Amino acid sequence: MADASIEFKGSSFTLSVLHLKTTTLADLREDLIKKVAQAPDFFYLVPIVVDIERVDSSIDYQSVKLLVEEFKFTFVGFTGSVAKEQKKLIRELGFSFVNSANSPANNTAKVDTSTKPVAAKPLAEPKNKQAEFVPKLELYTDKIHRGQIRSGQQIYAKGQNLVVIGSVSAGAEVIADGNIHVYGSLRGRAIAGAKGHHQAQIYCQNLEAELVSINGNYWLSESMEQHWSSPAYIHLSDTELVSSKLI
């Protein structure tokens, strides 16, 4: 109705998913402390869905929610491929259960905000103006930067891929909503898929980065040992970053 004061529409959002591998709270807390300490600003207020597929149903849902909030995440709900009864229980306890999308190419949980009670397929690209419209990765053009990117500098390719013709010094930061290509050494930080593109990739002629991240999943230098100091590209498979030889 045109004169109503509100409107309900379906939208697609990409959310970060925290996969639990144990129900032991102490272990969870310890690992969360380590992870969050590596980049606290990254995680602050991030909406998070907790995947409980890999743990048994003895999990204490309330404690997990509180634990997640303790680290300043915004808890959205639980998710995972679980039995109907478990989903029902979770809802009765007062927590949201979020159904993940079924398409194999996309494993991140999609929040269905339609008013239908049954979890339907996520609606097509959002039309409402509140959510930011994020175009498909294939549509991105390239933002080309010629020259070195020096310590202390930051380049953000908004709605584009970033191509750097030069090196990225330690202490510099390159960010792109799309892919990042560095024709030179990558010694600083590279953040690709900044608006949620899981398929974004990072390419460089010499991998010596301080941090690489694709859609919120990041690696520090210590995880890059395999292809350190060589031409490499980094991509995301499910929720694990993978580095591969470039040439």
Partner 1 sequence: MARIIVVTSGKGGVGKTTSSAAIGIGLALKGHKVVLIDFDIGLRNLDLIMGCERRVVYDFVNVINGEATLNQALIKDKRVSSLSILPASQTRDKDALNKENVGKVLDDLGERFDYIICDSPAGIEAGAMMALYYADEAIVTTNPEVSSVRDSDRILGMLASRSRRAELGLDPIKEHLLLTRYSPKRVEEGEMLSVEDVEDILAIPLLGVIPESQAVLKASNAGEPVILDTESDAGKAYQDVIDRLLGETVEFRFLVAEKKGILSRLFGG
Minimum gap (Å) between residue 165 Cβ and partner 1: 12
Site for partner 1 in 135-164 (CB under 8 A): 147-153
The span of 10-18, 94-102, 170-178, 225-233 binding partner 1 (CB under 8 A) equals: 170-178
State in angstroms the smallest separation of the CB of 10 from partner 1. Answer: 44
In whole angstroms, the minimum distance from the beta carbon of 210 to partner 1 comes to 12
CA–CA dist 225, 80 (Å, integer): 32
**Does residue 231 interact with partner 1 by CB under 8 A?**
no
Number of residues that bind partner 1 (CB under 8 A): 15
d(CA 247, CA 113): 44
- Comparing CB distances to partner 1, the nearer of 188 and 216 is 188
- Between 64 and 168, name the residue whose CB sits nearer to partner 1: 168
Shortest distance, CB of residue 242 to partner 1, whole angstroms?
Answer: 28
| 167 binds partner 1, rule: CB under 8 A | yes
Pairing of β 47-51 and β 74-79:
parallel
**Cα-Cα-Cα-Cα dihedral sign, residues 23, 25, 28, 30:** negative
Q: Which residues contact 138 (CB under 8 A, 6 or more apart)?
A: none
Q: Give the tokens for residue 56.
A: 């048994």
Taking the least distance from each CB to partner 1, the nearer of 169 and 230 is 169
Report the DSSP beta bridge partners of residue 155.
174
User: Is the Cβ of residue 187 or residue 197 nearer to partner 1 in the bound state?
Assistant: 187
CA torsion through residues 111, 216, 240, 17, sign: negative
The least CB distance from residue 151 to partner 1, in Å, is: 4
Q: What b-and-e string marks burial along 78-113, b requiring 16 or more CB atoms within 10 Å of the CB? A: bbbebeeebbeebeeeebebbbbbeeeeeebbbbbb
**Sign of the C-alpha dihedral computed for residues 174, 223, 31 and 60 taken in this order:** positive
Q: Looking at beta carbons only, is 36 or 210 nearer to partner 1? A: 210
Whole-number minimum distance, CB 228 to partner 1, in Å?
A: 16
Question: Contact positions toward partner 1, by CB under 8 A?
Answer: 147-153, 166-167, 169-172, 185, 187
